[in-house]
Amino acid sequence: MTTSILKIYNASAGSGKTNCLAQNYLYILLQSDNKNEFTRILCLTFTNKSSEELKDRILQCIKYFAKNTEYTTNKEYDSWKKNLKNKLNLTDQELEKRSKKILLSILNDFSSFSVQTIDKFTYHIIQSFFVNKKFNLEINTNEFLLEVSEQILYKLNYYNTTKQVNNFFLKKYSLEKLQSGKNWDIKLELMKILKLIVKEIHYLPMIGIKKQSTKDWINLKNTLLYRTTVFENECKKQGNKFINFLTSTSIINSSLYYKLIPKFLKNICNIKKSPIIVFEKIENHTLYNKNANVYQKQLINKYQSHIIDLYKKAVLIYKLGISSYIIDKLILKNLNLFILIDEIEKELVLLKEDKKILLNEELNQILYNHIIKNIVPPIIYEKIGTQYKHYLIDEFQDISYLQWQNIKILIENTLSENGTVIIVGDPKQSIYRFRGGDSKSFFNLLYTPSKYYHKKIFYIKTNFRSFEEIVKFNNFLYYSISNFFQSSIYNKIYKTSTQKIFKKPGGYVKLYFIGKTQTNHKKYVYEHTEKIINNLLKNKYNLSDIAILVRKNEEGYFLYEQLIKNGFYVNTNVSFLLKNSIDIKIIIHIFYLYINPNCIKHRIAIILLLLMKKQSVLLNYDIHDFIKKILHLPLNLYLINIINVIIKSKINKIFFNLDTMYNKSLYYIAEKIIDMFDLLNSNNKSFIYSFLNFIHKSKKIIGNSMIDFLEYWEYKKCKISITYTDNINAIRVMTIHKSKGLQFPIVILPFADWKITSKLKEGIWININPKLYHGLDKVYLEINSNLETYIKTHYDSHLCNLYEDSLYQSQFENTNLLYVATTRAIEKLFIFSKQDDKSVYFYLKTLLKEQKMWNKNKFHYSFGNIK
């Protein structure tokens, strides 16, 4: 049987991944005499935008080849045409004739033109399992999980039918959290458990957890309590022996290195320090420190052999038991959480069935579960395997483990039948681990041989996006960074990332280092950012040429506010929540007064928020006296006083009266409040109009009740953000994650301050011995300071390796984030970084040192010519 070759394109930023896929697609399409060959090609992308872009590129090119287009000449398509003619040995007439047939066939059967997202493809497969059931796809998983947690709390509070054992453990878990000094919100903890159940990254290890019954967990808990108690008692016993000997020989008060050992053994369950340093000293026969006097040294030397003997027995007990003890204690902390999983999952399933929904987050799990149970493969081979002969996958570095396992069956099948498989990706742009992205699948394809198929790897090295100085800067920077990776794979990926330059000479990079003495970091960044923007505008750039990339929404929100305040038009993909706007807060507080007119909390909040907006008012008033004077007035008089004293509008608004609005629509009331309090201006119109749009849409869901609206607002406010339209001349402010795949003439990176290796926010799954843990082979441990201390200071190679691997992965992802940001720029790149050797700044400083440019008294560096 002939086996095809799996083609892998390792394509760096700006090297034309979309063009690569489009050209491969066209080659497959045009090499066949079958005008319907496009129905046998499946191209998978990760976003709707990329799939539409690829579809459009392919169609436009076929139209151009068929001479069915408004373009007279197109250099790019002419180049593609020349290459395809040579590869396929076609004449101009043959290519044109074939293209016309294909174009007509696609237009007549456009639904079979399969360029789609991998999620959509998975959903279509799953739909075939449930032909007799109707399910809707729930995209917003977090919102649904919040609803599940509220349902559980409702049952706990109002129903006696809830199993007492689970109710008991929920309360016990809460109590333990409170005793450990943490502010505990039961809803947050329920959400944590629900995410363990639902999130794809937890799916495989959770299979074993879900098999355990409540009785199994209780038995395991008793075993762990017994085992940890035995170890603690052994340690205390040996520690007491040590201390008794030292006391009886009068050594106890001497200056000893080893005095920590008995204390440590006696307090094994509480002490955070490790005796490793002491162990090393004693093994080198250094039994006293440099401050010990002659008498103390003589005394210690006299009993040296007995001290060493006690020491060896203590270390033996410690080393033999400490690893299991640490894991046992950590599991005990999470055990009540695991006990709840079964009951919570039942509520999750009930609500999904009641609403007839499938969670988008669970699609890959559902398909994988059907595959491992051997339910799906016949369907795949019959329906999909026979339909598609050619597979193209884009952005492979973002694929999840389960997505790849689900698709791999099709890939191996089509390769065995002499089909085509082309994979395109860039491991340096893997930045979606928090969404399940698993770059290790790409590493395995690149570096691990397969017994099922042959592979051929193509490295696309030319950068078609950026000008010379930007490509050179990035080449120097990431080659330098490669030396800091201890992982050989990560080192190799960046060591070999040097790109060739395609664009004309030019380009400019400028680094701004912010000194540690700079008191207002954000102010400094904004002031210099504004100067950069104004200089660019003077040099005939448009606002839409400029992109400001941030890592956090809060950073983007700060810059957005400042830019708007200073008269710049801003378009943003950053999630600017309506609830953060002062003006929206004022409207909401007035809505609450509409329901509860005498609420002091809302009355004070309105005054303070208005004073924040009108900072120059009340100069002749004492604010406290003013508040005291109006706080308890009837509502309409209270509002009129605010309007007259704080708003000070020329329009006569003394007749403002909430009583006249009780029969009006919410939309009308909101408009009236906006008008009466002068809330609308050029700086906040995006917030105001988006909020009014939200009111309008919510009426269809909850009607015109003010109480229902406020309840709905509290439920949705953490998701409702500004809505924008594209294609306007405005500065773009967006997160680095949103910018992936895009390019801009000018890129400003204002807060390149994130840590090289950030602390892990989520826990980790570790392998354990099933014989010691009642059949359990994996367990989830939350990352906290205690776990980090244990891992760093105790003898446990398994935990150390696991923790170090997580840190290496964190370093890789944080570097990838920088890589994505700095490779978006076409002409100019500006980077601001606060001086901190644990952050991105260290990478930049190291580069400057290697380039012989570093000066500790210098804060600005540039590459290339600004003109």
In tens, the pLDDT along 484-520 reads: 998 889 999 999 999 999 878 899 999 999 988 878 8
Task: Give me the mean pLDDT over the 88-93 stretch.
Answer: 91
Q: What is the pLDDT of residue 265?
A: 59
**Is the pLDDT assigned to residue 847 strictly greater than 90?**
yes
pLDDT range class, residue 597, cuts 50, 70, 90:
confident
Q: What is the pLDDT of residue 165?
A: 47
Task: Give me the mean pLDDT over the 59-86 stretch.
Answer: 86
**Is the pLDDT assigned to residue 41 strictly greater than 90?**
yes
How is domain 481-574+728-755+816-864 classified at the CATH fold level? Rossmann fold (3.40.50)
Ranges 207-216, 254-263, 744-753: which has the least confidence: 254-263
pLDDT range class, residue 235, cuts 50, 70, 90:
confident
Q: 778 to each of 368, 433, 568, 637, how far by Cα in Å? A: 20, 21, 54, 65
578-716 has the same fold as 5-124+364-460: no
Dihedral angle sign, alpha carbons of residues 582, 587, 588, 590: positive
Ranges 396-410, 625-639, 776-790: which has the least confidence: 776-790
Which CATH superfamily groups domain 5-124+364-460? P-loop containing nucleotide triphosphate hydrolases (3.40.50.300)
**Is the pLDDT assigned to residue 256 strictly greater than 70?**
no
Q: State the Cα–Cα distance between residues 243 and 261, nearest whole angstrom.
A: 9
Proportion of the chain above pLDDT 90, given as a percent: 33
Q: State the Cα–Cα distance between residues 561 and 577, nearest whole angstrom.
A: 12
Tell the residue number behind the tokens 């007491």, with chain if given. 240
- Classify residue 218 as exposed, middle or buried by CB count within 10 Å of its CB (0-12, 13-18, 19+): middle
Give the pLDDT confidence of 111-128 residue by residue, as tens digits.
899 999 998 898 888 877
The domain segmentation of the chain, as residue ranges, is 5-124+364-460, 136-355, 481-574+728-755+816-864, 578-716, 764-814
Q: What is the pLDDT of residue 377?
A: 61
pLDDT range class, residue 541, cuts 50, 70, 90:
very high
Using alpha carbons only, give the angle 77, 80, 86 rounded to the nearest 5 degrees: 140
CATH number of 578-716: 1.10.486
**Is the pLDDT assigned to residue 29 strictly greater than 70?**
yes
Give the pLDDT confidence of 673-728 residue by residue, as tens digits.
888 888 887 777 778 888 888 888 888 777 888 888 888 888 788 777 775 555 67
DSSP lists the bridge partners of residue 755 as: 839
Could you tell me if 31 and 89 are in contact, meaning their C-beta atoms sit under 8 angstroms apart? no
Q: State the Cα–Cα distance between residues 137 and 355, nearest whole angstrom.
A: 10
pTM of the model: 0.80
Give the pLDDT confidence of 320-371 residue by residue, as tens digits.
887 788 888 888 877 877 777 887 888 898 888 888 888 888 889 988 888 7
Please name the residue ranges forming H helices in 734-828. Answer: 736-739, 785-793, 797-822
582 compared with 421, residue with greater pLDDT: 421
Q: State the Cα–Cα distance between residues 487 and 206, nearest whole angstrom.
A: 28
Please name the residue ranges forming H helices in 356-400. Answer: 363-372, 377-379
**Is the pLDDT assigned to residue 825 strictly greater than 90?**
yes
Could you tell me if 231 and 321 are in contact, meaning their C-beta atoms sit under 8 angstroms apart? yes
> Of 633, 648, 564, 568, whose CA–CA distance to 603 is shortest?
633
Q: What is the pLDDT of residue 665?
A: 86
**Is the pLDDT assigned to residue 161 strictly greater than 50?**
no
Q: What is the pLDDT of residue 169?
A: 54
Q: What is the pLDDT of residue 724?
A: 56
Task: Give me the mean pLDDT over the 43-62 stretch.
Answer: 90
Mean pLDDT rounded to a whole number for the chain: 82
Tell the residue number behind the tokens 């950590």, with chain if given. 330
Q: What is the pLDDT of residue 306?
A: 81
Give the pLDDT confidence of 269-304 residue by residue, as tens digits.
554 455 554 555 555 556 666 666 777 777 777 877
Instruction: Indicate the pairing of strand 500-501 with strand 462-463.
Output: parallel
* Measured torsion, CA atoms of residues 378, 384, 389, 392, in degrees rounded to the nearest 10: -120
